[in-house]
């Protein structure tokens, strides 16, 4: 470990960008892990949707909106709230609004996660760049150095090549693991939002159907009378 630290400090021109990439990847991973695990998800989404259904079918839209406001930080409640606000608009407008809101919520959830894949690729390439630099130093040592210096310069060049490659992979591999893990959580959250939006749209249609049925039955009773 000490040798690696000494190598990093003595070759900051090659290792510095990789260390910066590692720090950036760590910050993104921690921030996204917190957001996707605690900030965005709703603990009891099924219970929340059941409450919304009960309130909507009872025509208690104000109470449903207040319930959404209590969980305003959750992307799914933002979609549900906007659908409730537009509940009396034509069905096509509600559908279009929900699709736009789902798209915006998905983009908000996915933000910055893709950078981890980019950092992994760039770290690997920067490690490869250090490898090429180390090999060039080794070949130059073979061609220009004296016999006494040749072995030391050759060992130094090979050390630079191998250590830089290892450092690049040391950053890239955890980045790819974190990227896969976070994308799995992201896809799960996006799926929950899409299903909740579809369920909300079905709920509003069901309410309209029941209101139309009650209105038709009421008109029929008046005609008979």
Read off the pLDDT of residues 143-194 as tens digits, 9 standing for 90 and up.
Answer: 666 666 767 777 777 878 888 888 999 999 999 999 999 999 999 999 999 9
Residue 179 resides in a domain: yes
Residue 217 resides in a domain: no
Residue 220 resides in a domain: no
Q: CB within 8 A of 45, min separation 6: which ones?
A: 76, 192, 196
Dist. CA 122–CA 130, nearest whole Å: 12
Range of the domain at 170: 2-211
79: alpha, beta or left? (left if phi > 0; alpha if psi -120 to 50): alpha
Residue 142 resides in a domain: yes
Considering its fold, how many domains does the chain have in total?
1
Residue 225 resides in a domain: no
Q: Residue 80: in which H helix or E strand, if any?
A: helix 75-85
**Does this model's pTM top 0.85?**
no
Residue 224 resides in a domain: no
Residue 218 resides in a domain: no
User: With bands split at pLDDT 50, 70 and 90, how would you rate the model's confidence at 5?
Assistant: confident
Residue 81 resides in a domain: yes
**pLDDT number for residue 215:** 57
User: With bands split at pLDDT 50, 70 and 90, how would you rate the model's confidence at 212?
Assistant: low
Most confident of 15-19, 53-57, 167-171, 178-182: 178-182
């Amino acid at each position: 470990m000490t040798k690696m630290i000494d190598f990093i400090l003595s070759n900051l021109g090659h290792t510095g960008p990789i260390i910066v990439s590692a720090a950036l990847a760590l910050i993104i991973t921690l921030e996204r892990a917190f957001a996707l695990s605690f900030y965005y998800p709703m603990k009891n989404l099924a219970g929340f949707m059941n409450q919304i259904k009960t309130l909507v079918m009872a025509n208690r839209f104000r109470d449903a909106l207040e319930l959404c406001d209590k969980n305003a930080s959750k992307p799914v409640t933002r979609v549900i709230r906007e659908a409730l606000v537009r509940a009396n608009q034509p069905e096509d407008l509600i559908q279009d609004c929900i699709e736009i809101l789902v798209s915006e919520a998905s983009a908000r959830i996915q933000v910055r996660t893709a950078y981890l894949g980019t950092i992994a690729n760039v770290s690997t390439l920067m490690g490869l760049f250090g490898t090429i630099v180390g090999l060039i130093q080794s070949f130059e040592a073979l061609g220009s150095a004296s016999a006494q210096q040749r072995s030391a310069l050759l060992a130094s060049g090979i050390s630079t090549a191998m250590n830089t490659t290892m450092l690049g992979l040391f950053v890239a591999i955890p980045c790819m693991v974190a990227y896969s893990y976070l994308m799995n959580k992201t896809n799960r959250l996006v799926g929950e939002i899409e299903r909740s939006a579809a369920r909300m749209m079905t709920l509003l249609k069901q309410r309209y159907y029941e209101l139309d049925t009650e209105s038709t039955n009421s008109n029929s009773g008046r005609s008979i009378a």
